[in-house]
Structure 1
Amino acid sequence: MLPSLIVLDDFLADPHAARRRALALDYDPKFKRGNYPGLLSTNPLPIQGLEASVSKIVGRPVAPAPDTTHNHCRLTLKADKGKSGVHVDPCFYSGILYLSLDEHCRGGTDFFRHRRTGLDAVPGDPARIAATGYADANALIEDVVNRDTTNAARWERTTRVPMRFNRLILFKPWQFHNAGPGFGSSPETGRLVHLMFFAAG
C-alpha cells in the first residue's frame, strides 16, 4: 500500500543549482493553467533520476503522468490570488519539492477533512464510495471538493507540512489538500516549488 504522506529533507544533492534553474525559467501569465494562484513555468525543470528515486522511496514503479504539469515549477507571490483552494490531483501519486530559501519560507502544504462528510480523501474503491452516498468518484468530487473548494468553514485542517528548502513531500493525490498562501514580492523571495505528478509505472 502506498504511504499517505512521506516527508524527505535534503532531497537534492545541489538544491541551489536547481533553484537557480527554476528562477531562470519563464513564467508567462499566458501559459497559466487552472485556477491556482501564481504562475506556472512554461517549460519543465527535469530532475535527473527523479522517477527512479521516487519509485525506490514508495516501493512502486512510477512514471511521469501524461497531460499534467509534471516537472514544472510554480511561483506564487503574496499578492497572487486564485479561484480554487482545497483540491485533489488526478494522478497515481503526487510530489512537491520546495525551492524557496528557508529565510523566505512561509506555510507549506495543508491537508484537510471535509466537515459535512467527515472525509479526508476520495475513497479508493467503488464500494467505499458507494458507502458515502455518492454514485461515483466524480459525483463526490463535484459536490464536496468543487463545491466547497474555497469555503474555509467547510474544512478542518488536519496536517500541515511546513515549507523547508530542499524538502520533498510525496503523498496520495486523492487526499484533500491545498498549498499554503503565497509570499514575497519578487521571484527571489516568493513561494517557489517544483511539481510532480506520477502515473503508475
Structure 2
Amino acid sequence: MSFKHLKVPEGIALPSVPSNSPELRYEKPELGSNYWVADDFFKYEEAMAIRSSCLEREVWKYGKPYTKELWPGMRTPNALNHKQLKKIEKYVKSVIKKNKLWVADSNKVVVDTNTAILVGAEEGASRPHVDNRYLCRYAAVLYLTPNPIASAGTSFYRLKYANEAAGGNVVDPPFANLVDALNVTSLPYSAWYKDLDIENRFNRLIVFKGNIVHSASEYFGSDLDSKRLAITFFWMCED
C-alpha cells in the first residue's frame, strides 16, 4: 500500500464538517496527557536479549498476506517474562496515575497483549483504528529493531472528510470502536489526516490512550532480522 497520509494543511481555512455527517470528538495528542514516551526503557543488553528471545521463537501466528486475518505479518505471545512485564506495568501506572491494570477477558477475540509482532515492508501498511474500548483503555508499544527506519513508529490520526474538513479522533462511550461510532463497516485510507508521528527508536516504549485513532506508521525489512519488531500491550483500568 503506497498511500501516504498528509497532515492538516497549515495556514489554510478548511471547510466545515458536512452537515449530518458522523463525527468524533477531537483530542489533540499531547505528551504527558494522552501519550507518554520512555527511551532506553530496559538496559541495552536486556533489550537485545528480549529481541533475540522473540526472534528465536519456533511458534508464530501468521496474518496478512499469509492468511485472511486483518492484522499483518506474524506474532508470538508472552514476549516478556514476569519481571520485565511488571516493570512496564509499574511505569504505565505511574504515568496514567492508576493503581490497577488488568488484561480484558473475552470469549470472542484474543487480546494479544505482551505479544511480539514482526512485520516486513511488503506485509502491511498503516491502518488507522482505535482499540476496542471494552478490551483496552491504554495501549503500549516497545520497539525492538536496532537502527530502524525512524518514520516507522506510531502515528495518530484524525478524520478527513470528502470536502477535506478535519474531524475528530476519539471514540467515546457508549461506542466500542470506529464501526460503532461512525456507523460504517470500513473507511478508505483517504479518510484520515495524519496528526502526529512518534519515531521508532530501539528500546523506546510508548504508552497511549487506546481510544485515540492510531496505527503503526509503516513497516520495513525483508527477513527475520531486518523486519519491524515490536511488542504490544493492552490494558483495562478503572475509568
Rounded Cα–Cα distance in structure 1 between residues aligned with 2:85 and 2:180: 38
Q: Which residue of 1 aligns with 2:60?
A: 27
Rounded Cα–Cα distance in structure 1 between residues aligned with 2:158 and 2:227: 28
Corresponding letter in the other structure for 1:110: S
SS at match of 1:113: strand
Q: Which residue of 2 aligns with 1:18?
A: 50
Whether the 8 Å contact between 1:62 and 1:198 is mirrored in structure 2 is no
Corresponding letter in the other structure for 2:157: F
What whole-Å deviation, never above 9, does each CA across 1:56-113 have from its counterpart, x for those lacking one?
232113424234111011000112137x811111201000000011255552111101
**Structure 1 portions without partners, runs of 5+:** 130-135
Supply the RMSD in Å over aligned alpha carbons: 2.7
Structure 1 residue 37, shift from structure 2 partner: 1.4
Rounded Cα–Cα distance in structure 2 between residues aligned with 1:24 and 1:142: 42
Q: Does 1:196 align with 2:233?
A: yes
Larger radius of gyration: 2
Q: Which residue of 2 aligns with 1:54?
A: 92
Q: Which residue of 2 aligns with 1:160?
A: 197
> Please, which moves more after superposition, 190-199 or 15-24?
15-24
Alignment partner for residue 139 of structure 1, among 164, 175, 180?
180
Structure 1 residue 7, shift from structure 2 partner: 1.1
SS at match of 2:186: helix
Rounded Cα–Cα distance in structure 1 between residues aligned with 2:205 and 2:68: 23
Corresponding letter in the other structure for 2:226: T
Structure 1 residue 163, shift from structure 2 partner: 0.3
The 5 Å alignment of 1:178-197 reads 178-197=215-234
Q: Give the % identical residues.
A: 26
Alignment partner for residue 112 of structure 2, among 69, 75, 80?
69
Structure 1 segments of 4+ aligned residues over 6 angstroms from their partners: none
SS at match of 2:101: strand
What whole-Å deviation, never above 9, does each CA across 1:166-193 have from its counterpart, x for those lacking one?
1111000011111122211111111000
Q: Which residue of 2 aligns with 1:40?
A: 75
Whether the 8 Å contact between 1:104 and 1:184 is mirrored in structure 2 is no
Structure 1 residue 138, shift from structure 2 partner: 5.7
Corresponding letter in the other structure for 1:79: E
SS at match of 2:196: strand
**Structure 2 portions without partners, runs of 5+:** 1-31, 106-110
Q: Which residue of 1 aligns with 2:19?
A: none
Rounded Cα–Cα distance in structure 2 between residues aligned with 1:147 and 1:195: 24
Aligned length: 185
Structure 1 residue 140, shift from structure 2 partner: 1.1
Q: Going by fraction, where is helix more abundant, 1 or 2?
A: 1
Q: Going by fraction, where is strand more abundant, 1 or 2?
A: 1
Corresponding letter in the other structure for 1:35: L
Give the TM-score of the pair, scaled to structure 1. Answer: 0.80
Structure 1 residue 152, shift from structure 2 partner: 2.3
Rounded Cα–Cα distance in structure 2 between residues aligned with 1:105 and 1:16: 18
SS at match of 1:107: coil
Q: Which residue of 1 aligns with 2:27?
A: none
